[in-house]
Amino acid sequence: MSQITEGPFDTHYLDHAASTPMVAEAVQAMTAQLTCIGNPSSLHASGRAVRRVVEESRETIARAMGCRPGEVVFTSGGTEADNLAVKGLFWARRAQDERRTRILSTAVEHHAVLDPLHWLAEHEQADVELLGVDRRGRLDLDALRAAIERDAGSVALVSVMWGNNEVGTVQPVAEVVEIAHAHDIPVHTDAVQAVGQVPVDFAACGVDALTLTAHKLGGPFGVGALVVRRDIDVTPQLHGGGQERDIRSGTVDAPAIVGFATAVELAVKRQPEHAARVSALRDQLVRRVQEQVRDAGLNGDTGPGRRLPGNAHLTFPGCEGDSLLMLLDARGIATSTGSACSAGVPQPSHVLLAMGCDQERARGSLRFTLGHTSTQADVDAVVEAIGPVVERARAAGVAAGHASSRKTG
C-alpha cells in the first residue's frame, strides 16, 4: 500500500504532483555518496573522484533526456531553473538586440515562471504577454502566432509549460517550437511535471531550454537542472566560481546529483509502464468519485495524450476546496487544492480562472495526483470518504451563508 506514517494515522498520499517519495535506488545512491570526501572543483584525487561522479551523473541525465551532457546545468531545483531560463534568456537576448523586450507565455504557468515574468515587467521594463487558453487549459496556438507576427523582432523568448501542475493538461510544445523558431525566437518549457510521466526528449522536441527537478520524479529535494542548448546565451544570476558553464556558479551537491540522476534514469525507463498503471487508477478514481458525487466535474484536457497520467482535478459545486482538503486530511487522505493562499485568505486558482471557470467553481476544486507508490487502496479510500466529506462541506457552506446573511441583515 502507498501508506506513509504521519502522526497518529496512516496517510493515503494523493499529492504526488507536489512531491513524490524517493525511490529506493535513489536513496541508496545518495546515501553512499554522502560519506565521500572532496570538492568536485578541487584538483586533488578526492576532488577528481567526486567530479567523476558528478560528470557520470550528468551523462546519465543526458541519455535519459535526449540531450548532450554539456547541456545539463545543475540548479537547486525547478524554481531556480525557471528563473535562470526566463531571466537569463531575456537579459541575453536584450543585450544582443535592445528591441527584444517582449516575453510570451501562458496565463496558466506555474508561479516559478509567472513571478519572474512579473518581476521582469516591474524592474526590467519587460513587456510580458500572457496568452489565453481554452476551457481545457490548452494554449491557443493562433493567439501565439498572432502575437509573434505582430512584431517578431521584439520578442525575446517564449515560455510554455509542458504539463500543467494543477489540471494536468499537456501543452502542444512541438507546435509552439515550430511557430517560434520560424522567427528565430528561443523556447523554454517548464517540464517539471512532465518528465517521467509522458515521453520527453530534449533534442526531438526542439526546445532551447527545459526545466526539470528531482523531487517530482523520485529523487531528493533541493536539486534540479536547466537543460539548455550549447549555442544559446544565458546570462547568469549567480556569480562566483564559474561552475556549470559559468551559467550557475556554486559548489554542486554531488550526493543530491547522484540521487537525481538515478531517479531520472529510472523514471524515464519506467515511464510507459508507470503511465499505463497510474492512468488506469486515475480513470477509476474519477469514475467512482462521480458515481458518489453526481455533479462533480473533471477539469483539464481529456483527449488521448493530452493529460498527465496521474492527474485528476475535480470540482465539487457548493464546496470550498480548502474545507474538502481538511476533511479528507482528517480521514488520512492527503490531497491538494488548486488554489494559492495569500496572507491566510484563500484565492481562486489562476489556472481555473484562465480556463473560464467562475470564482465559485475555481474555489471548489481538488487535485488528486497519483504516483509510483499509489495503489488500489488509495483509490478505495477516496471513494469511501468523498460522499460524506462533500455532504459535510456543503452543509458547512450553507451554515456559513446563513450566518453571513444574519450579520448583514
Q: What is the pLDDT of residue 341?
A: 43
The percent of the chain in helix, strand and coil, each rounded to the nearest 5, is 45, 20, 35
Give the per-residue pLDDT at 355: 96
The whole-angstrom separation of Cα 352 and Cα 280 is: 25
Instruction: Report pLDDT for 400.
Output: 54
CB-based burial label for 3 (10 Å; 0-12, 13-18, 19+):
middle
What pLDDT does residue 348 have? 87
Q: How many CB atoms lie within 10 A of CB 402?
A: 10
What pLDDT does 347 receive? Answer: 78
pLDDT digits (tens, 9 = 90+) for 27-52: 999 999 999 999 999 999 999 999 99
Q: What is the pTM of this model?
A: 0.93
- Note down pLDDT in tens along the chain; length 409 residues: 444 444 444 589 999 999 999 999 999 999 999 999 999 999 999 999 999 999 999 999 999 999 999 999 999 999 999 999 999 999 999 999 999 999 999 999 999 999 999 999 999 999 999 999 999 999 999 999 999 999 999 999 999 999 999 999 999 999 999 999 999 999 999 999 999 999 999 999 999 999 999 999 999 999 999 999 999 999 999 999 999 999 999 999 999 999 999 999 999 999 999 999 999 999 999 999 999 999 999 999 999 899 999 999 999 999 999 999 999 999 999 999 864 444 345 678 999 999 999 998 899 999 999 999 999 999 999 999 999 999 999 998 665 554 444 555 5
Catalytic residues: 341
* Residues whose CB is less than 8 angstroms from the CB of residue 272 and which lie 6 or more positions away in sequence, other chains included: none
pLDDT at 9: 44
Rounded to whole angstroms, the Cα distance separating 327 from 324 reads 5
Grid coordinates given for 134: 481554452
**Angle made by CA atoms 39, 42, 43, in degrees to the nearest 5:** 145
Instruction: Write down the CATH number for the domain with range 25-266.
Output: 3.40.640.10
Do residues 156 and 103 lie in contact, with contact meaning Cβ atoms separated by under 8 Å? yes
Residue 35 in grid coordinates: 560519506
What is the signed CA dihedral for 180, 181, 183, 189, rounded to 10 degrees?
A: 40
The ranges assigned to domains in the chain are: 3-21+271-408, 25-266
Give the rounded distance of the alpha carbon of 116 from its chain centre. 15
Query: 3-21+271-408 has which CATH code?
Result: 3.90.1150.10
